Amino acid sequence: MMKYEITLATLLADIGAFYEPKKWHFLTVNGIDLGEGKIELQWIFSKYHVKDEIVIYYAISDYETPIPSVVSLIPSAFMGEREIVDMFGLTVEGAEKGLYLDEDSLPHPLRGES
């Protein structure tokens, strides 16, 4: 497993330079609360036809900073983006709330402070 740190400012450029749909299978967007208002965001890929090759691009952010969407590069990413909007209460460009949680659910249940 290879992990590469990037920033939200360069996210689209970094993923755009890396991602080729016929080489890489996009697994998901993931979030991990690091505490003290920080969150690690991950974009995870596996290589087709190759054993054990996983690549994770990650960026450290806070709860308030809007996150660019990678849907223009990876059309299937909208599911993972909507999930982190619901579960961490983040803002992702173009991603609506309500994939998992209803209006009366706990807000952002996977935040450390919740």
Residue 103 touching other proteins (CB under 8 A): no
Residue 1 touching other proteins (CB under 8 A): yes
The interface region with other proteins, picked from 9-17, 49-57, 61-69 by CB under 8 A, is 49-57
User: Residue 68 in contact with residue 11, Cβ under 8 Å?
Assistant: yes
For the CB of residue 26, give the shortest distance to other proteins in the complex, in Å.
5
Q: What is the DSSP string of 60-112?
A: EEESSSPBPP-TTT-GGGHHHHHHHHHHH---BTTPPS-SS--TTSPSSTTST
Among 44, 59, 92, 95, binds other proteins (CB under 8 A): 44
Q: What is the DSSP letter of 50?
A: S
The residue type at 25: H
Residue 43 touching other proteins (CB under 8 A): no
Whichever of 12 and 54 has its CB closer to other proteins, that residue is 54
Strands 24-35 and 38-47: antiparallel
Mask of contacts with other proteins, 50-89, x by CB under 8 A?
xxx-x-x-----------------xxx-xxx-----xx--
